[in-house]
Amino acid sequence: MKLPEPLKLAALFIGHILTGLVLFSVIAGAALLVTNVGRLLGGDGLSYYILTGFDGLGLLLFAADFSCIILFTCVQTILFMRDLVKYFRKAWKE
């Protein structure tokens, strides 16, 4: 059974978004891990500056990751809408 073009485009869009969310979760997990390792090491009398570095690195990773997922979602949405408009313009001309 052949799927109509709009459903193919929607499936591709959903696949891209889900893949982006999985990658976002992996990198956010790494940011959380870095922050928690810093806090764990804080109990061992590690320098305040190193602990601040761990916290800053965790926040930087998470902020960069969040910015990238927002940008990725916006770009994928624009591409999806562009492809849908192209499809419907072509269909309406026929």
20-43 residue pLDDT tens:
999 999 999 999 999 898 888 877
CA dihedral 16, 72, 20, 32 (to 10 degrees): -170
Residue 69 pLDDT exceeds 80: yes
Q: What is the mean pLDDT of residues 60-71?
A: 95
Handedness of CA 18, 22, 28, 29 (dihedral sign): positive
pTM over 0.75: yes
Indicate the length of the chain as a whole number.
94
Backbone angles phi, psi at 29, to 5 degrees: -65, -40
Residue 38 near residue 54 (C-beta atoms within 8 A): yes
Residue 18 pLDDT exceeds 90: yes
What pLDDT is stored for residue 94 in this prediction? Answer: 75
The residues spanned by each domain of the chain are: 21-89
